[in-house]
Amino acid sequence: MKLHLAAALALVLAACQTPDYGRPLPEGAPALLKLGKGEQRPDFKSSWNDRDELLPALDLSIEWFARPSSKQHFPIEGVSHERALQSLKHFRKLLTTCSDARDFDASVALDFDIYKSAGWNAKGGGVLFTGYCTPILQGSMTADADYQWPLYGLPDDLVKSKEGEILGQRQKDGSVSPYPTRAAIEASGMLKSKKLELVYLRDPLDAFVAHVNGSAVIALPDGTERRFGYSGKNGREYKSLGKMLVADGHLKASEVSLAKIREWGAAHPDQLLDYINKDDSFVFFLEIDGPPKGSLNVEVTGGRTLATDKALFPRGGIVFVDVDVPDRNSPANWFKRLFSSEDESYGSAVYDRFMFDQDTGGAIRTAGRADIYMGIGPEAEWTAGRTKSPGQMYYLFLKDQVLQ
């Protein structure tokens, strides 16, 4: 039986205990659980055919490990910087030297220790995967009647530590206090007075979508495009717009997607703005030339970059995800067709693959959560906006005898 089916069955059998994917690990509990002898491991054969996609993303992780600053984040979960780096290099060697899929699968299993995420219950009970992307949004470099909602650059009073942690807002007397919330920023107009507007979007939801994803491609009226990436944030807690709308009875939990939020927001624009301002988090941007970058300051790769809680999981590491994601080309099962409108009646596709832990996110704060970067454009946005799937994730690190 495919591992993703086995994982799904295990989750169903455990349904008597409703998964709380936002539950923190108990104090002192490990985030990674090493698979023992005889425990079922993922089948890695299918990834052999993904070599051309894997290698560029893998090399970006190796590039990050070459930076002296990367050493400050290790050891973590008992994994040293050297072990993590050599794991990547050895994995690259297997991708380029193994003879076929079976050889690759066997070699990975022989040379690497495999660790399952402790998940939502600290016992490997599963991870909730969501998706993010780089949306393509309509915008203008100047404000006018159609484009009035700006993305802002990084203010000079935002204080960060050397490690990039947000410390707060520098005051006139030199002290540092928490940076204002989204609502306070918008109400005060404090960023407008600093002339930090980079680009203007059609509506507040488009601007919010850019904030949530941390990057955006902006299609301008003259047919050209400009790219904007993450520069920083105010350090405040992120609150999910979808969860707020569900909690207040505006949407059903089973139907939450970006499309549904857009539909509801179009009918209730004033209420939508009120809900957006309840999310205290606020993201700042900069214009970029190439692809967007994640929290490691390396390019994110569609379908290969994973965002996790960096307080728990090793940065840059090799991760195997075992999950199903929405697929508009797959038919919905009979149960879903009963409860879905025609335009939302879609199936799912197996998404078991190697990825690299190269990013983080405002909502990704436990061992039971992970965010998949889906890429750029409408298809990526469609998938990212509908992904909310339970599964498993595994980290791979070289065995001691191979490392020596």
Position 236 scores a pLDDT of 95
pLDDT tens, 217-273? 999 999 999 999 999 999 999 999 999 999 999 999 888 889 899 999 999 999 999
Torsion (CA) 13, 40, 325, 319 in degrees, nearest 10: 130
Does the pLDDT value for residue 59 go beyond 70?
Answer: yes
The answer to whether residue 62 sits within a structural domain is yes
Position 5 scores a pLDDT of 54
Using 50, 70 and 90 to split pLDDT, how confident is the model at 331?
Answer: confident
Does the pLDDT value for residue 13 go beyond 80?
Answer: no
pLDDT tens, 100-120? 999 999 999 999 999 999 999
> Mean pLDDT, the chain, as a whole number?
92
Does the pLDDT value for residue 157 go beyond 80?
Answer: yes
Could you tell me if 275 and 245 are in contact, meaning their C-beta atoms sit under 8 angstroms apart? Answer: yes
Mean pLDDT, residues 208-223: 97
339 vs 162 pLDDT, higher one: 162
Alpha-carbon gap, residue 315 to 359, rounded angstroms: 8
Does the pLDDT value for residue 10 go beyond 50?
Answer: yes
Neighbours of 253 (CB within 10 A): 11
Same domain flag for 316 and 303:
yes
Same domain flag for 234 and 366:
no
Mean pLDDT, residues 275-282: 98
Amino acid at 325: V
Does the pLDDT value for residue 338 go beyond 50?
Answer: no
Total residues found in the chain within this entry: 404
The answer to whether residue 19 sits within a structural domain is no
Among residues 288, 313, 329, the one where a domain terminates is: 288
Query: Looking at the 3D structure of the chain, how many domains does it have?
Result: 2
Give the E-state strand segments of 202-317 in sequence order.
Answer: 216-219, 225-233, 283-288, 305-307
% of the chain surpassing 70 pLDDT:
92
The answer to whether residue 152 sits within a structural domain is yes
Same domain flag for 114 and 170:
no
Position 197 scores a pLDDT of 97
Alpha-carbon gap, residue 371 to 115, rounded angstroms: 18
Cα 141 from chain centroid (whole Å): 28
φ and ψ of 282, to 5 deg: -140, 130
Among residues 224, 256, 288, the one where a domain terminates is: 288
148: CATH? 2.40.240.50
Q: Is the pTM value of this prediction over 0.85? A: yes
44: CATH? 2.40.40.10
Mean pLDDT, residues 22-36: 96
Does the pLDDT value for residue 1 go beyond 70?
Answer: no
Does the pLDDT value for residue 343 go beyond 60?
Answer: no
Same domain flag for 115 and 139:
no
Position 133 scores a pLDDT of 97
Position 164 scores a pLDDT of 77
Alpha-carbon gap, residue 123 to 276, rounded angstroms: 35
Could you tell me if 270 and 259 are in contact, meaning their C-beta atoms sit under 8 angstroms apart? Answer: no
Same domain flag for 159 and 188:
yes
Mean pLDDT, residues 23-32: 96
Same domain flag for 263 and 387:
no
Alpha-carbon gap, residue 96 to 335, rounded angstroms: 44
Same domain flag for 187 and 254:
yes
Position 139 scores a pLDDT of 98
Using 50, 70 and 90 to split pLDDT, how confident is the model at 344?
Answer: low
Neighbours of 179 (CB within 10 A): 23
Using 50, 70 and 90 to split pLDDT, how confident is the model at 335?
Answer: very low
pLDDT tens, 76-92? 999 999 999 999 999 99
Mean pLDDT, residues 16-21: 81
- Pairing outcome for strands 347-359 and 305-307: parallel
Same domain flag for 143 and 279:
yes
Same domain flag for 182 and 275:
yes
Mean pLDDT, residues 166-191: 96
Could you tell me if 157 and 212 are in contact, meaning their C-beta atoms sit under 8 angstroms apart? Answer: no
Same domain flag for 83 and 188:
no
The answer to whether residue 303 sits within a structural domain is yes
Same domain flag for 254 and 316:
no
Among residues 270, 288, 306, the one where a domain terminates is: 288
What are the residues facing 320 on neighbouring strands? 354, 394
Same domain flag for 301 and 316:
yes
SS3 12: helix
- Which residue intervals of 236-350 are DSSP H helices? 241-247, 258-267, 269-276, 334-339
The answer to whether residue 186 sits within a structural domain is yes
Domain that holds residue 139: 134-288
